Amino acid sequence: MPSFILANLGYLYLACVIIIDILMMFFLTQAHGFSNYKATVLSLVCYAITFVFAGLALKHLPMSVVYALWGGLGAMGCAVVAHFFMGQKLNLPVYIGMGLIVVGVVMVELFSESSS
């Protein structure tokens, strides 16, 4: 593998975690309280896959960075998917909150002195 990919493998795994986590939440909303079995199973499969990729990401990145980015970017991704694919309206406090998440994620990434 090219050295660029190897140097950023933890972030590649983390990106998979975040994307699959957003898919999991989408399927969970489609499960309608677990009455839609296909969506329920898809959400459970996605949930299991996130743990596999999270474990791989943790081999390369500190836990504080993995969890902060997973939580923050996952929450933002869910809000964006809810807006564009489910017709949910986002208001000013949501935009402000997402901006604060971006600031927090950047601060964790830039100023984290943790090592894996």
Per residue in 42-65, pLDDT (tens digit) is: 999 999 999 999 999 999 999 988
Tokens of 72: 């923050």
Q: Where are the domains of the chain?
A: 3-111
Tokens of 5: 């990919």
pTM reported for the whole predicted model: 0.84
What is the full DSSP assignment across 26-86?
A: HHHHHTTTTTSHHHHHHHHHHHHHHHHHHHHHHTTS-HHHHHHHHHHHHHHHHHHHHHHHH
Interaxial angle between packed helices 63-86 and 9-30, expressed in degrees from 0 to 180 and rounded to the nearest 10: 40
Average pLDDT over every residue of 79-97? 91
pLDDT band at 114 (very low <50, low <70, confident <90, very high): low
Half-sphere exposure of 8 (CA within 13 A, CB side): 7
